[in-house]
Structure 1
């Protein structure tokens, strides 16, 4: 008999939801550490959609968590039913894309920079890991974890019923090329600023980063461009078998999760950050004259969606044991 969906994903999601729901209830009852509102170091509430809430909102968190737990457990039951998926995917989207904000990407992007800054003597304005990862941002990681667990359970539930057929190798290849190309628009602007070229901004704006800020931006842009190159591995043989020039690993099979985990996580943080820029653009916070400071980021949701599609397609292809492009059984 064909095995049913790996139930541990759904059970893990339910346990996560019950634990987080209990935390929400505790916040409502007065436990310190509520991650939004007055305790969130978001000065004008421009980042988080929950900035205006108070700890009493914890009761709503508890109710939402209970719904999440019930939905997750429904994904463990046999039967050809769509109802669990109709709830699971929206809940997962809220946890992964709505609750987090752009600070999640800032923390990920600046962590490597904070690691190498002491080596090169960069001060970074006195920024520390505590600045990059305060509790409200770490809480976003917790929410993303719950959303990913639920999405994994929903994907397996749908696949066992033949509903994951949208993620074909052909769509995966197209998505890879889109995901590799979109960040280059951002990279070009940041590289230009580092070279003193006011691409998409005025001279006054460019002068604000002469203290090394644009060099840091160029570093992050290069990091993004490198990620774009690595994205190509989702449809190339070196994404399945380590190349010959890698000592100790040459010719060995690339563990699928080695690509799926980082690519999936990056797809989330760039989408979240991009949605923030889209929201700020709609609110009129940017000027058209300085399009270079915000327009490239508005394309990040496209980047994230393409990368997520490419990642899921890669995961399903590796799981099915097919080679790149040929459809032959993997060795």
Structure 2
């Protein structure tokens, strides 16, 4: 728990320094200058919370609150990662750096919050100093592989189903078909116009959309979090068969994905609801009319929201089931 506290404090100092540097230099974050001050303030509070964890002070609720704010700060990080993966440039380097730092902070803050709960459960009220006669506690055995509870598995099914329309839409475009009045050729021309990489364009020409492939990998990750084979390598992994899966291997992408997609999708659903009811108007982007833009956005944002929430639920269950 002490180590978690120092880690959070260190991240808070670094995050505050980044925000302060942006604010003082006039560097814009998300199209404005004031977010730099907000980032600096969040980092300072997180650093103080980390020191409080080291001192065994009850700050668990504050840690979860900061975790939620940091997760919001990681908004659309996954989109930046996809962009970089296929050799394209992100729209704003400072924005991408902030999202990456915020996502790391969300993971560290969640870990510290869970650590404080475990410390309280185990009766850890202060640092223990080792002495000659002090017994050394035996390490807890790793839990046996077990599937997630039924409600978590139901969430995994819901998250999978939410991605099906998105995958089918992308596959249809990649194969040259049309959806919501937009043809595959038009989508391909948009990729070329927006400077997509050669790898991305080559995949599209072969009927494989990059984001569709990543969605399928995401579903694979989701089920690895809820099934026993996500804790012990199964037979089809060859030489790894029967070995324990390191917790960080599925949890790192799961937590980063959840911190990005869950808030992005949920807030996006609210925005689309306002657009659908006429309260505001959706940005057309590369689409010809609002109807097409809305239909496509509902498929994409709906998939992100459903999958992101399911991933968060599954990651939490995996964390708890594999904790030692």
TM-score norm. by structure 1 comes to 0.71
Question: Is 2:89 the partner of 1:106?
Answer: no
Residue from 91, 98, 111 that aligns with 1:152: 111
Contact 1:277–1:297 under 8 Å retained in 2: no
Contact 2:103–2:260 under 8 Å retained in 1: no
Question: Is 2:302 the partner of 1:302?
Answer: no
> Residue 18 of structure 1 aligns with which residue?
13
Following the alignment from structure 1 to structure 2, what is the Cα–Cα distance between the partners of residues 10 and 274?
A: 31
Question: Any unmatched runs of 5+ in structure 2?
Answer: 122-147, 192-200, 275-279, 284-289
1:124-179 per-position Cα deviation (integer Å, ceiling 9, x unaligned)? xxx4xx447724212320122122211210122234446xxxxx734332232223
Return closer, same or farther for 1:76/1:60 CA change in 2, 3 Å cut-off.
same
How big is the alpha-carbon RMSD for the aligned residues of Structure 1 and Structure 2?
2.9
Return closer, same or farther for 1:235/1:141 CA change in 2, 3 Å cut-off.
same
Question: Is 2:46 the partner of 1:68?
Answer: yes
Return closer, same or farther for 1:295/1:26 CA change in 2, 3 Å cut-off.
closer
Following the alignment from structure 1 to structure 2, what is the Cα–Cα distance between the partners of residues 242 and 297?
A: 32
Contact 2:4–2:115 under 8 Å retained in 1: no
How far the C-alpha of 1:253 sits from its partner, in A, is 1.7
Return closer, same or farther for 1:173/1:23 CA change in 2, 3 Å cut-off.
same
Contact 1:172–1:311 under 8 Å retained in 2: no
Residue from 167, 170, 173 that aligns with 1:190: 170
Return closer, same or farther for 1:19/1:211 CA change in 2, 3 Å cut-off.
closer
Return closer, same or farther for 1:253/1:295 CA change in 2, 3 Å cut-off.
same
Return closer, same or farther for 1:291/1:26 CA change in 2, 3 Å cut-off.
closer
Return closer, same or farther for 1:252/1:212 CA change in 2, 3 Å cut-off.
farther
Contact 1:241–1:254 under 8 Å retained in 2: yes
Return closer, same or farther for 1:18/1:289 CA change in 2, 3 Å cut-off.
closer
Contact 2:75–2:261 under 8 Å retained in 1: no
Return closer, same or farther for 1:253/1:64 CA change in 2, 3 Å cut-off.
closer
> Residue 85 of structure 1 aligns with which residue?
60
> Residue 317 of structure 2 aligns with which residue?
313
Return closer, same or farther for 1:29/1:198 CA change in 2, 3 Å cut-off.
closer
Residue from 84, 88, 93 that aligns with 1:134: 93
Return closer, same or farther for 1:63/1:269 CA change in 2, 3 Å cut-off.
closer
1:241 aligns to what SS in structure 2? coil
> Residue 245 of structure 1 aligns with which residue?
236
Question: Any unmatched runs of 5+ in structure 1?
Answer: 1-5, 37-47, 115-126, 163-167, 321-331
Following the alignment from structure 1 to structure 2, what is the Cα–Cα distance between the partners of residues 249 and 91?
A: 38
Following the alignment from structure 1 to structure 2, what is the Cα–Cα distance between the partners of residues 290 and 232?
A: 31
Q: How many residue pairs end up in the alignment?
A: 272
1:75 aligns to what SS in structure 2? helix
Contact 1:35–1:139 under 8 Å retained in 2: no
Return closer, same or farther for 1:60/1:291 CA change in 2, 3 Å cut-off.
closer
How far the C-alpha of 1:207 sits from its partner, in A, is 4.4
Contact 1:7–1:76 under 8 Å retained in 2: yes
1:245 aligns to what SS in structure 2? helix
> Residue 262 of structure 1 aligns with which residue?
253
Contact 2:107–2:255 under 8 Å retained in 1: no
Following the alignment from structure 2 to structure 1, what is the Cα–Cα distance between the partners of residues 21 and 9?
A: 18
